[in-house]
Amino acid sequence: MHLGLYIHIPFCHSRCPYCDFAFVVGKNHMAKRYMDAVIVEMQNRLQSLGTLPVFNTLYFGGGTPSAIPPGQLNQITASVKSAIAPDAEITAEANPNDHKYFEKLYEYGINRLSLGVQAFTDRALKALGRFHTASDAIEAFQAARDVGFKNINIDLMYGVPEQTLEEWATSIQRAIDLCPEHISVYGLTIEPQTNFARRFQKGKLDVPPETDQAEMYMYAIDQLEAAGYTHYEISNFARPGFASRHNLNYWHDRPYLGVGLSAHSYLYNRRSWNVRDLTTYMQHIEATGYAVEREEQLTPTQHLLERIMLGLRQRRGLRAEFLSHPKIQKQYIAMANQHLLERTDNRVRLTRRGLLLADLVCTELVREL
Ligand code: SF4
């Protein structure tokens, strides 16, 4: 059985005002106990599979995996070493200010680094409440290259408060100039219960209008494609051969195991996810060896919906055979008439206009199922 393995590292240096991920700040003293719990959970989950899987990808996400000493991440990798494929893609998300750890991360077998840069202008970084500067990000990228990383992703964010298209263009150009293998481009979303949501409700957060955000997204697509990146998923761009194998597992509807706080798993057509509170997670693992909050078996219809949603996120789109379902076909025709979906050979995909309304198009396509 081939699986992707996701390991959640929730520790962060500070609280970004827009973030609603599962993270903790100022609790690094709990990292050792947490990592021990993750190893226990992983061993139990592997035992319950019955057969030792082969992990073709490992992904340390967060939180900020680089916020804790690399030796602690290595403990996890070492504990499943015999199950890791020799050519596995092993990614760690990293904060640019943690570059002192990059050499060790590389030495411990991490072969893909995902840098949470977000912007290459100090004004946007400040607006996002980030503590690194644009020059820190450039130095971090160069430090990663110097220690040997040949596969680096840069995360960028558009729709930042008071961002102009010109400022966004600077970030895109600086990212292109560094020649990373992969660039992810996300629009800022105002998540409920965050500092940004509270400021937005009070009218104290000036985010660019939707039309400007759409222009920023389209600008990124055009510039990155012109620079030789393939736009292979709504938010992701890669040089040939460098699409994220771990994320492709998700989008190709393949099984994965997630361990740690709030981590999701998808095995044997069952979805499950862990509790979201750090202390609760550790207590559950220490008491029972598991910390699953909920699990559900996908019905055939839920599975079909899932495959359609995941397929449409990819630029190559869905296999056209999905259209043989009469209820989907009817919706497809309506959206093709609005130039939101298009046929390419034997596939169906979002048009450029459809990309801007991707969530809505996906929901509408499956509305009658
Ligand atoms: S570093 Fe990442 S996970 Fe941590 S608070 Fe900021 S955005 Fe959230």
300-365: CATH number? 1.10.10
Residue 368: per-residue pLDDT: 87
Residue 74: per-residue pLDDT: 97
Residue 345: per-residue pLDDT: 86
Q: How far is the CA of 148 from the centre of ligand 1 (A)?
A: 26
Q: How far is the CA of 16 from the centre of ligand 1 (A)?
A: 6
**Domain ranges in the chain with CATH number 1.10.10:** 300-365
Q: How far is the CA of 233 from the centre of ligand 1 (A)?
A: 22
The reply to whether ligand 1 has any atom less than 6 angstroms from the CB of 118 is no
The reply to whether ligand 1 has any atom less than 6 angstroms from the CB of 64 is yes
CA of 15, closest atom in ligand 1? 5
Residue 17: per-residue pLDDT: 98
List, for residues 59-78, the tens digit of each pLDDT value. 999 999 999 999 999 999 99
Q: What is the pTM of this model?
A: 0.97
Residue 68: per-residue pLDDT: 96
Q: Whose CA is nearest to atom 6 of ligand 1?
A: 16
Q: How far is the CA of 358 from the centre of ligand 1 (A)?
A: 25
Q: How far is the CA of 274 from the centre of ligand 1 (A)?
A: 19
Q: How far is the CA of 189 from the centre of ligand 1 (A)?
A: 14
Helix or strand or coil: residue 284? helix
Which of 130, 10, 117, 129 is CA-nearest to residue 61?
10
**Domain ranges in the chain with CATH number 3.20.20.70:** 2-251
Q: What share of the chain is helix, strand, coil (3-state, %, to 5)?
A: 45, 25, 30
Cα(68)–Cα(12) distance, rounded to whole angstroms? 9
The reply to whether ligand 1 has any atom less than 6 angstroms from the CB of 23 is yes
Residues of the chain under the 50 pLDDT cut:
none
Place of tokens 């078996």: 297
Which fold is adopted by the domain 2-251? TIM Barrel (3.20.20)
The reply to whether ligand 1 has any atom less than 6 angstroms from the CB of 16 is yes
Residue of 12, 14, 190, 262 with the most ligand 1 atoms within 8 Å of its CB, for mutation: 12
Cβ atoms within 10 Å of 82's Cβ, excluding its own: 7
CA of 129, closest atom in ligand 1? 6
The reply to whether ligand 1 has any atom less than 6 angstroms from the CB of 108 is no
Q: Burial letters for 197-213: b for 16+ Cβ neighbours within 10 Å, e otherwise?
A: bebbeeeebebbeeebb
The reply to whether ligand 1 has any atom less than 6 angstroms from the CB of 217 is no
Residue 131: per-residue pLDDT: 95
Cα(85)–Cα(91) distance, rounded to whole angstroms? 14
